[in-house]
Chain A
């Protein structure tokens, strides 16, 4: 695959109370990825059993992955976990419409499981090298 990918991320979030209090945070960063073994993105169906989102990073210099998952279902929630085992090493619980984003520098796979019925997700998973 071609080398030298550039990954850009930015986000903002805010929490507010009906009292009028609010707090917000934001961030942005850019990642230069010089070796990529795997780039996956699109939509995927998640079963009630573990469904792999990305395999454990492999290959010389591979050191982790960046992962985004969004629950596209209208009713049911979704669990996203490391090590690809249901109810183990849970990263997040996504209600309909919610999403998560993480950078993991380890050699584990990432998987997901639906709660009560098969769920569609929007996602990307990009392996990153040890310099990224």
Chain B
């Protein structure tokens, strides 16, 4: 049986400057994961997150791939590419006023984390994005990560 090996790289630059132009802090972290020889999927795309939250499944719509993915750790990048309203990012089933939100992103903002989708007593296998006001366009990249 074939196996799929994947790796993931992330790099960023974050800085805060005060009103006088003084840099308060600046960080430029990066990492490259170890090779994951049990990876199931790399899933990337764009979705319209509606007023009813939309689930994003690692492995796409294939039920076997979704089930086989490591829901304990998935590298997750989500960006609000729309122009008017914020979106909420959370494990599926935890949206709408839950305190289990992982991010609230205004237009242009992004979120990145090695997410655990099934923490607490949550048995979800997917990520959800939504907006209560109007549909918003969202881009995403998900990649199976090695378990902790």
Please say whether chains A and B are actual partners in one complex: yes
Which residues in window 55-106 of A have CB below 8 A to B? 64, 68, 70, 77, 79-80, 82-83, 87-95, 97-106
**Complex contact A18–B5 (CB within 8 A):** yes
Report the count of interface residues on B (CB-CB < 8 A). Answer: 59
A115 to chain B, nearest CB (A): 7
Cα-based distance from A44 to B134 in the complex (angstroms): 40
Residues of A within 8 A of B24 (CB): 5, 39, 41
Cα-based distance from A22 to B44 in the complex (angstroms): 10
**Chain A interface: which of B49-57, B61-69, B106-114, B124-132?**
B106-114
Residues of A within 8 A of B4 (CB): 17-19
**B contacts with A: majority SS:** strand
Q: Give the tally of cross-chain contacts (CB within 8 A).
A: 196
A102 to chain B, nearest CB (A): 5
Minimum CB distance partner of B45 in chain A: A23
**A contacts with B: majority SS:** strand
**Complex contact A82–B101 (CB within 8 A):** yes
Q: A25-B79, A99-B10, A106-B104 are in contact. Are A93 and B140 (CB under 8 A)?
A: no
Minimum CB distance partner of B143 in chain A: A15
**Complex contact B31–A97 (CB within 8 A):** yes
A32-64 CB mask vs B (1 if < 8 Å, else 0) is: 000000010100000000000000000000001
Q: Interface range on chain A: under 10, 10 to 19, 20 to 34, or 35 or more? A: 35 or more
Residues of A in contact with B (beta carbons under 8 Å apart): 2-19, 21-25, 27-29, 31, 39, 41, 64, 68, 70, 77, 79-80, 82-83, 87-95, 97-106, 108, 115, 122, 124, 126
| 20 contacting pairs across A/B (C-beta < 8 A) | A6-B16, A9-B13, A11-B13, A13-B11, A13-B77, A15-B6, A15-B42, A16-B8, A17-B6, A19-B4, A22-B42, A24-B141, A28-B108, A41-B16, A87-B119, A87-B120, A92-B114, A93-B148, A99-B12, A99-B31
Extra contacts besides A87-B120, A95-B33, A106-B101 (18): CB < 8 Å: A4-B19, A11-B77, A13-B77, A15-B6, A15-B9, A15-B42, A17-B4, A17-B5, A17-B39, A79-B116, A89-B119, A90-B116, A90-B120, A91-B113, A93-B116, A101-B12, A103-B104, A104-B104
